[in-house]
C-alpha cells in the first residue's frame, strides 16, 4: 500500500502529508463502507466546476452564458472525468473490496475517483494547487471545447446518474446487414424502466438514437 500511494503521488506530482486522505480518495465503498471516496467526490465535483467555470470566462470572454454553460457541461461530465482518470492510470491505484464476486473497476468508479482526488488535493493543498492540477489536466479539453449541444447519450447518462446514481444500461440486440452497410439494433434502459430500441449503422450511432428516443419519453 505504501508503494501504491507513493506511485500515485509521483503520477499527480503532488506530495501528501496526510496520506490517509489520499488513500480515502481512491477507496471504493466495497472496501470500506464508511471511509471511502464518496464525500471527497462530492467536494471535488464542486471544485472542478468552479475552476473550469472561472477558466472558461477568461478563455472565452466574448461568448454568451448559454455557450459557456454547454462547454462547462462537456468538460465536467462523467465522460471527461473518466478520460482524465484513464490518462492518470487511476484504475491501478483504486482500492476495492475482496468479495466472492470480484468488483469490476468500471468507468464510473474511475470518473468518481478522479473527482475525489481533486477533493483530496483541495483539502490537502488548498484551492491554488487544486486549480493548478485541474487546469494542467483539462488544458487540452478546454482549448478544444466546442459550442455544441450535449449529445443525447451524454444527456441521458447525466439524467440517470443524477436521479438513480447509476449509468444507463445499453444492450446490443442484433447486428445484421452486409459489412459495407451494417445495421445495429441497440436497446437502452434506466434503473427499473423498460428497454427502448433504436437502429444505426454503428453501435455508437444506434446508442445515440436509442438515448434520443428514450429522452423523448421522460421529463428533464
Mean per-residue pLDDT pooled into runs of 10, the chain (220 residues): 80 95 91 85 97 94 83 91 94 76 72 97 98 96 68 88 92 91 94 93 93 84
Residue 100: per-residue pLDDT: 43
Q: Which of 113, 143, 173 is the last residue of a domain?
A: 143
Judge if 165 and 138 occupy the same domain: no
What are 80's three cell numbers? 471527461
Residue 168: per-residue pLDDT: 95
24-63 burial code (b ≥16 CB/10 A, e <16): bbbbbebbeeeebbeebbebbbebbeebbbebbeeeeeee
> Do the domain assignments include residue 116?
yes
CA distances from 137 to 83, 84, 128, 197, 198 (A): 10, 7, 14, 37, 36
> Do the domain assignments include residue 220?
no
Q: Catalytic residue numbers?
A: 45, 115
Judge if 124 and 202 occupy the same domain: no
What three-state secondary structure class fits 183?
A: strand
Judge if 129 and 162 occupy the same domain: no
Work out how many domains the chain is built from and give that number: 2
User: 27 with 95: CB under 8 angstroms?
Assistant: yes
Judge if 28 and 110 occupy the same domain: yes
Judge if 163 and 137 occupy the same domain: no
pLDDT in tens, 81-110: 999 999 999 999 998 776 545 556 678 899
Residue 107: per-residue pLDDT: 84
How far is the C-alpha of 187 from the C-alpha of 217, rounded, in Å?
A: 14
Judge if 70 and 41 occupy the same domain: yes
> Do the domain assignments include residue 158?
yes
Residue 22: per-residue pLDDT: 96
Of residues 192, 63, 45, 57, the one with CA closest to residue 119: 45
Residue 7: per-residue pLDDT: 93
Q: Which of 108, 143, 178 is the last residue of a domain?
A: 143
CATH of the domain at 183: 3.30.160.20
Q: Which domain holds residue 192?
A: 152-215
Q: Which of 143, 166, 188 is the last residue of a domain?
A: 143
Residue 219: per-residue pLDDT: 64
Q: Which residue has the cell 455508437?
A: 204
What three-state secondary structure class fits 194?
A: coil
Residue 11: per-residue pLDDT: 94
For the chain, where are the alpha helices, taking DSSP H only?
Answer: 2-12, 19-25, 38-59, 65-76, 78-87, 107-125, 127-143, 152-164, 203-215
User: 114 with 8: CB under 8 angstroms?
Assistant: no
Longest CA span, the chain: 59
Amino acid at each position: 500500500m505504501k508503494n501504491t500511494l507513493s506511485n500515485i503521488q509521483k503520477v499527480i506530482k503532488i506530495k501528501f502529508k496526510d496520506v490517509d486522505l489520499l488513500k480515502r480518495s481512491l477507496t471504493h465503498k466495497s472496501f470500506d463502507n464508511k471511509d471511502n471516496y464518496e464525500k471527497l467526490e462530492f467536494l471535488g465535483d464542486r471544485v472542478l466546476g468552479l475552476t473550469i467555470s472561472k477558466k472558461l470566462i477568461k478563455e472565452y470572454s466574448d461568448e454568451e452564458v448559454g455557450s459557456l454553460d454547454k462547454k462547462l457541461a462537456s468538460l465536467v461530465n462523467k465522460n471527461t472525468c473518466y478520460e482524465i482518470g484513464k490518462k492518470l492510470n487511476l484504475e491501478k491505484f483504486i482500492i476495492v473490496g475482496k468479495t466472492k464476486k470480484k468488483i469490476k473497476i468500471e468507468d464510473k468508479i474511475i470518473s468518481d475517483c478522479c473527482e475525489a482526488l481533486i477533493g483530496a488535493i483541495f483539502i490537502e493543498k488548498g484551492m491554488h494547487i487544486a486549480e493548478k492540477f485541474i487546469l494542467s489536466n483539462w488544458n487540452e479539453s478546454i482549448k478544444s471545447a466546442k459550442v455544441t449541444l450535449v449529445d443525447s447519450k451524454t444527456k441521458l447518462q447525466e439524467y440517470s446518474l443524477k436521479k438513480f446514481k447509476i449509468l444507463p444500461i445499453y444492450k446490443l440486440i442484433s447486428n445484421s446487414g452486409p459489412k459495407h452497410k451494417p445495421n445495429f439494433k441497440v436497446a437502452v434502459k434506466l434503473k427499473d424502466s423498460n428497454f427502448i430500441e433504436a437502429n444505426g449503422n454503428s453501435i455508437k450511432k444506434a446508442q445515440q438514437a436509442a438515448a434520443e428516443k428514450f429522452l423523448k419519453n421522460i421529463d428533464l
